[in-house]
Each structure stands twice: as C-alpha cells, then as structure tokens.
Structure 1
Amino acid sequence: MTRLSVEMLAADAPEPITSAGHAQLGIAVLAGIAVIVLLITKFKLHAFLSLTIGSLALGAIAGAPLDKVLLSFSTGLGSTVAGVGVLIALGAILGKMLADSGGADQIVDTILEKAGGRSMPWAMVLIASVIGLPLFFEVGIVLLIPVVLMVAKRGNYSLMRIGIPALAGLSVMHGLVPPHPGPLVAIDAVGADLGVTLGLGVLVAIPTVIIAGPVFSKYAARWVDVPAPEKMIPQRASEELDKRPGFGATLFTVLLPVLLMLAKALVDIVVDDPENPVQRVFDVIGAPMIALLASVLVGIFTLLRPAGFSKERISPLVEKSLMPIAGILLIVGAGGGFKQTLIDTGVGRMVLDISEDWSIPALLLAWLIAVVIRLATGSATVATVSAAGLVAPLAADMSTTHAALLVLAIGAGSLFFSHVNDAGFWMVKEYFGLSVGQNIKTWSVMETIISVVAGALVLLLSLVI
C-alpha cells in the first residue's frame, strides 16, 4: 500500500471520536486487549462480557466520550449480528438436521466402507471436511469422536493415526471456510466477497489439511501411541433410528450452499455485468442467506422425512438447534462492537500508518495479530473478530482477491497453537484420554501446523493472483 493511498484512505475515513495520538491509541489498544484477556483467562468471565468491558476500557483510555463509545459499540454489535446472525442460525439448523437424522452417520459409514488400511487416515480427513462444512467445531468433535474411537479400536489403529486427520479436517473448515462464524465475521468486517473467499478458502484448505492431517498423523502416532479409550465411546445418533437418509441426498444437501455460493462467484467473474439477468438471478440464489436457507428447506425432504421425522418434530428440532448458538451470537456481536470501537477511536488509521512505516505486508500483519490474540485468549472466534477489526481499514485499497486473502490470513492466525486456555484443547484431551503433555504434542502441534501452512499459502497466493 503506497503512502498516497494511505493518505487517501485517511481523508475518506470518518472523523475519530477522540483526538488521541498514536502513542495513546496504542496504549488504549493494548490495555483493551489486556482487559479482555485477563477477564477471560484469570476471572473466567464469558467472552461476551469481556469484549463489552474491553471495548469500554479501550474507549476510555483513548480519551473518547463515553456516550460515543457506547454508540460505537452498539452500532458495531448491531451491524455484525445483522450481517452474520441469520447465517449462523441457518448453519446451526442444518447441522442439527444432519446430526439428528443420521445423515452424518450415513456419510461416515459409506466412506468407511470404501476405505481400509493405509487409506483410512485419508478417509477420516474426507469425512471430517464434508461433515465439518455446516457444523460448528465443537458439534463436529462430538459427532465424529464415536467414529474415530470405533475405527481405531476395530481396525487396531493408533488413535492418533485416525484422530489427527479427523480433527484437522474439522479445524481447517472452522478457520478458513464459510459459513463458519469466524470467516463470516471477518468477511463482514473487511468487506470481502464471500464467494471468492469460499473458493480461495477451499484452495488453501486442501493442501493444509493434507499436511496437518494424514502426513502429520504418522509422526503424532509415533510420539503418542495410545489405544482408543473404551469408556469414551458414546452412542451414535442413528442407532436410535429405524432408517436414515441416503448418501447421495445427504451429500447434496450438505454441499448445496457451497455450490450455490461458488456458482454466484463464477457467474460474477464470467458475466461481469450487474444488470445482466443471469447474473442478477445468481446474485440472489448465491447470496449466503438464500443458499443456506435453500439447503435447510431441501434438508427437510432429503434428511428429516427419510429418517421418519413427522411435521410435529421439525419445529422442536429447529428450536433445539438455536439454543446452543446464543452464546456464539453474543460473542460475535460483541466482537463487532469491539471492532467498531477500534475503528471509531482512530485505531484503523494508526494501523494503516504503522503498516506503511514498518513495511509489514498487510496479510502477515493480520496473521500475526490473530496469532497473538489467539495465544492470549484461547478463542479462535475472539482472535478472528478482534484481528478483523484492527486490520479492516487495510482492505479498503485491496482487490477482491486480496481482501479475501486477508480474511484467510486472519483465519489461519486464529488457529495457532491451541493450549490450556482453549476449550477445544480440553475437549480433545478428555475424549482421547490424553495427558496435557500428550495433547500438546499432538493436538496443539497440529493446530500450529494448520496455522503456519495456511498462512504461508495465503502469502504465496498473494504473489501470484
């Protein structure tokens, strides 16, 4: 980004709500993030409350009037929830339908029937990647753990040889591929194109998941050679069903929103005429909300009806799917409020100046910021929304593809080295029956590999496209 473009962006930006200089703003940012980290890690306060208090602390230390800080925070919260809240809700409904109908089990069992021996780790990556598209990470873990443990036990595999590829597939989808909350929030914050981000995210995800999954699992199995703990094998959803949906119909339902969004991106590139009737049609059906809504409606007939769900059971299923995401929506919304407070206090301008003065590539800066916040808070979502708020102004002068790569750089950084302050760390440890040291050697290293490989691929892509 040139000095001229930085000055143009600064001139176009709205007047900050404070007259603080760079030094005071820098202190305010560090203090705000420190408050968030301290409240989450030391006092175990919910991330929603921590982000809210951290935003107020940031504004106060930056010398902004409190009423304007409150307005910035509430504006950012509202716009973020408006932008991604419906998408998160639709994704949660689709994931619940997939799990409760036995559709997820059908995909798993069909792929496992075709796999065996050396191909099993690759089959686990494929399963986790497909299942992980519409599911939140924690839900994906709960859904796939029974499969991982049963495959490891029945096939006499090392648990890490099977488990690491499955976890890698879930984690990569979570960090890099919309419609997961993290990428959606970053896309909304930087104004990136969802279809382009999705396409590039898949492009980065494939080599990343191969290296962090099947390849790394060979070494992880040598470092930590443990059997599957029998006491942790839970019941699968489809064991309580008399029948379940077919493999083809289930796969179509899961991939439908991805196909519609990618089709929109392709038509936008090929036609490149907003007034063209074909492009206008695809702009509608490929819009994230319509694509996910279509998949949910199709799922009623391809997932729920074949599994024997009556009309009376559909509404309670939807209700149950929405309850667990209340916390996620609040965290995402508060993250949007924090982002807007950063921008309105003038931190955006400061980041622009620093990135120019230090000659730090914008994508590397985004990755590093996300890494630091991830290490401090343990939350990939908090790291994503906070980093996106800090670097969002950098996207104003970027091309469509580079804005999408900025989102992916943030997502990659948000996955770096999961450790004891991350809920996912403890989920994996307990389900697999590992010690803290064993979990660091396997799960934590795997997350770091994903972050570094994906970050490097994003930087490489930025040089060629």
Structure 2
Amino acid sequence: MSDDVQLLVYLALSLGVLLLIVLKFNINAAIALIFASLFMGIASGLGLMGTLGGITEGFGGMMGELGIPIGLGVILGKLISDSGGAYSIATSILNRSSEKLAFYSLGAASFVLAIPVFFDVAFIILVPLAVQIGKQLNKPLPYSVGSIIVGAAIAHTLVPPTPNPLASASIFGFDLGIMLVVGAIIGMVATLLTIKIYFIILDKGFWKAETDEDQAMENPYGSLDIPSNPPSALMALIPIILPSLMIVIGSFGNVFFEENPAIVSFLSHRIIALLVGTIAAYFVAAKSLNKQRRDNSSSEAMQVAGIVFLITGAGGAFGTIIQNTGIDEAIKNIFVSDAQTTISVLLVAFFMGVLFRTITGSGTVAGITTMTIMAGVVTGMDVHPVWVAMASLSGGLMLGHVNDSGFWITTKIAGLSMKGGLKTYTTSEAISGIVVLLITIIGAHIF
C-alpha cells in the first residue's frame, strides 16, 4: 500500500472513530474531534507529543483568528433577536411582497436574518409567520418551512460573521471582504433558485401530510416573545450593514492602494468591524430593552458562543492534524489530475465537505476541516481560493440528517415527522448545496 493511500485509510478510520463516539456513545462532537485528532496524528506517525502539539496549534490558531469575532457576532445577533429587531426585518420584507412572491420573500427574510444570528434562531423567529402565510395561501407546510430552511442554511454557511465563512479567509489567506461579497451575492441567488427547484418537486406530489406531519402536536410553533416597541427594520439593519461595509471598504482599499493605509486596515479588520456592529446593536436594542435585559441578552449569547468556540476550535485542531500528515499532497496525487484542473479541485472539496457533514452532522466541522485540507491542495493553482472555499462550504450544506441538531430543531418546532424532516431539512439543504456548487463552478471559470 502506498503512503498516499495509507494516509487516506487513516483518515477514513479517524472518521470512523468520530462517528462511533458521536452516534454510539452520544458524546459531544467537539470531544469526538479531539479523539479523532489523536488517532489520526498517532496512526500517521506524528508521534505522541507531535500530535498534542498539532492539536494545540490548530485549536489555538483557530481561536486566535476567530474567537473574538465569533463572540462579538453572537452577541450582535442575540441583541437584534431579543430586541424584536429581527422580527421587524422579517415582517418588513414580507409586507412588501406580493402574494405570488410571498415564499421567495420569506426565503429572502430568512437569508438576511441568518447573517447575524444562528440558523436555529432565524428559524424560530420566522416559523409562526411562515405557517400563517402558508395558511393564507392554502399551501402545505413544506412550502413555508422549506423557504426558511433554505435561506437560513445558505446564509449561515456562506456569509460572515458566522464561523465557517469567517474562517475561510484566514484558512486560505484572502481578504474577508471578498468572502462577504461573493457569499452574499451567490447566497441570495442560490436561495431563490433552490426555493424554485424545491417547489417544483413539491408540486409533483412529494409531500404526504398524513405521514410527513406529526398529527399529535397541537401547537408545535410556540409563541414569539416580541417586545411591544421593537426597533424598526431600518434601525435593526444598521448593526448588520455597518460591519459589512467596514470590511468591504478594506477590500476596495486594496484596489486603490498598493498597501492599505493603517487606518483603513484597522477599521476594516474583522474584530473592529464586528465591535462597531455590536456597539450599534446595543444602541438599537435600547429602544425595547433596558440595561439589565441587554446585559442578560449578552450573557446568554456568550453561553451559546462557548459551545461554538469549542466545536470551531476542535475542528481547527482536527484540520491541522490532518494537514500536518501531508494528506493534501496525497489528495493531489490520488484525486486531482496532473493538470490539476479547476473543476477537479472544486469537486474534491465539495465531496469532502459532504463526507464530513454526513458523518459529523455539523456544517461547521465539515466546512473548517475541508477548507483546512484544501488550503494545501490549491497552492500554486490558477483558481482564486474563494471558489475552493465556496465548494468546500457547499459540500458542508449537504445531507444534514438525524445526527444534526438543526434537523431535530426544524422537525420538532415545525411539527413534522422524521420522514417529513428528511423531506424538508435534508432535501432542501441537499438542493442548496448542489446549486451553490454549480454557481461556484461557473464563477471559478469566469473570474
């Protein structure tokens, strides 16, 4: 057996260890990732201390780059959500929509909301609105629920400041503003296209209410705790738009200056941009939340961020261990032709993302691990790394199922059976991943 094949066998076994720990023993994915890292490092010859060093380096490096931005992003989103600003944004978008485009507007609202807040928060905020719209239009549940899933999943996967797109710039070494612009444009286009394709499938009788909906649940949608005087949609958008503009200005500065002036680099840095956005969110939230409630909201956000930190850091550790084994060269030698064509690299990134997402159930783990591996593969190739990042992330969108917390959140809150969850969450995200990949392939060959 060649060394390249042997490394891939060790990778497969480490994924088996990961799967066993998560599914058999029901242990958190972050802990499972550390075990998988230990197995991969020791088995591939990095040594005991070399493996520990790689884990420490990967975790610390990822947190050094992303710890503060992720924490700020979570606080920003929590304040917008708790103040009622997210609800204002959603209702504003929907109120400006015609009946014919209502579900597309719902998907667009979900896309916008999932940029600052996590997938599950955007889903919970929009479900009551979505169900009401579905009833008014006399359409089955998956039309409205599927629209929310598609928009939220794509935004969460492709648009900073969520962990994966935020990490992409650091891992591949390109400007974060590029990821923000590319992710936002492709994400919105992919959202609308995916909803259209998913509706075509639904129109052909894909949904069976008697088996796909949980008839035992009387009120699965819960109730929204919206303050009586939430900030307007325009005000609520300021904390989202402001840091995005700051980051993008830094990217444009590279066009006009050989080297960005220090003040431009400072203001466009992800930490400063998100700090400004978070401060703006505090002021916006003040309209409906007093100081105590804003402090409580921030504290609750940091509890959520702790889990995100652990999984993101552990994903970085696993990715670094894999990278230290030289598996990027093995992938080049086995899967990528001597010509190293753009499409072959993008497909490898995509299918690797699918593999990690299917096994771990975590899009964050899938994206970060795949991008870390592919960072070595694309070195010296005539393709901008943003496209490889997009391909990796599109794979991480695919095939979320019963080992994914998002699957159960959407299934139970929307009042679906497990079969219904597979027909909404799993199916719509699978279509999303393929659509994003196809747009990515086109983009990589044009730009």
Q: Is the TM value for this pair above 0.5?
A: yes
Q: What residue is the counterpart of 1:433 in the other structure?
A: 415
Give secondary structure in 2 for the equivalent of 1:237: coil
Give secondary structure in 2 for the equivalent of 1:216: helix
The structure 2 residue matched to 1:248, chosen from 234, 240, 254, is 234
Deviations 1:276-324 (A, max 9, x none): x4xx4332222211111111111222x22211x3334332221111101
Segment of structure 1 superposing worse, 48-57 or 191-200: 191-200
Structure 2: which amino acid aligns with 1:306?
Answer: K
Whether 2:291 is the aligned partner of 1:304: answer no
Give secondary structure in 2 for the equivalent of 1:397: coil
The 5 A counterparts of 1:26-425 are 26-220=8-202, 222-224=205-207, 226=209, 231-238=219-226, 241-269=227-255, 271-274=256-259, 277=261, 280-301=262-283, 303-307=284-288, 309-357=289-337, 359=340, 361-398=344-381, 402-425=384-407
Structure 2: which amino acid aligns with 1:415?
Answer: L
Cα separation, 2, equivalents of 1:243 and 1:425? 33
Does the 8 Å contact 2:243/2:277 carry over to 1? yes
Deviations 1:403-453 (A, max 9, x none): 111111111000112222222222222122222223323322211111111
Give secondary structure in 1 for the equivalent of 2:384: helix
Does the 8 Å contact 1:336/1:385 carry over to 2? yes
Segment of structure 1 superposing worse, 178-187 or 20-29: 20-29
Structure 2: which amino acid aligns with 1:121?
Answer: F
- In the TM superposition, structure 1's runs of 4+ consecutive aligned residues that sit over 6 Å from their partners are none
Does the 8 Å contact 1:285/1:291 carry over to 2? yes
Give the Å deviation of 1:30: 1.6
Structure 1: which amino acid aligns with 2:11?
Answer: V
Give secondary structure in 1 for the equivalent of 2:230: coil
Structure 2: which amino acid aligns with 1:315?
Answer: D
TM normalised by structure 2 equals 0.92
C-alpha RMSD of matched pairs (Å): 2.2
Unaligned runs of 5+ in 2: none
Give the Å deviation of 1:154: 4.7
Cα separation, 2, equivalents of 1:220 and 1:114? 25
Give the Å deviation of 1:218: 4.8
Cα separation, 2, equivalents of 1:395 and 1:245? 45
Give the Å deviation of 1:225: 6.0
Give the Å deviation of 1:192: 2.9
Cα separation, 2, equivalents of 1:225 and 1:145? 20
Cα separation, 2, equivalents of 1:430 and 1:168? 17
Cα separation, 1, equivalents of 2:24 and 2:245? 43
Give the Å deviation of 1:123: 1.6
Cα separation, 1, equivalents of 2:404 and 2:132? 26
Give secondary structure in 2 for the equivalent of 1:192: coil
Does the 8 Å contact 1:120/1:162 carry over to 2? no
TM normalised by structure 1 equals 0.88
Does the 8 Å contact 1:193/1:404 carry over to 2? no
Give secondary structure in 1 for the equivalent of 2:378: helix
Cα separation, 2, equivalents of 1:69 and 1:152? 53
Judged with a 3 Å threshold, the aligned counterparts in structure 2 of structure 1 residues 340 and 454 are, in CA distance, closer, same or farther, namely same
Cα separation, 2, equivalents of 1:261 and 1:398? 26
Judged with a 3 Å threshold, the aligned counterparts in structure 2 of structure 1 residues 112 and 64 are, in CA distance, closer, same or farther, namely closer
Unaligned runs of 5+ in 1: 1-19
Judged with a 3 Å threshold, the aligned counterparts in structure 2 of structure 1 residues 230 and 283 are, in CA distance, closer, same or farther, namely farther
Give secondary structure in 1 for the equivalent of 2:379: helix
Cα separation, 1, equivalents of 2:131 and 2:200? 17
Deviations 1:213-254 (A, max 9, x none): 24423532642265897502322131xx23111221112222
Give secondary structure in 2 for the equivalent of 1:298: helix
Structure 2: which amino acid aligns with 1:251?
Answer: L
Does the 8 Å contact 2:353/2:392 carry over to 1? yes
Judged with a 3 Å threshold, the aligned counterparts in structure 2 of structure 1 residues 185 and 34 are, in CA distance, closer, same or farther, namely farther
Give the Å deviation of 1:113: 2.4
Give secondary structure in 2 for the equivalent of 1:195: helix
Does the 8 Å contact 2:55/2:320 carry over to 1? yes
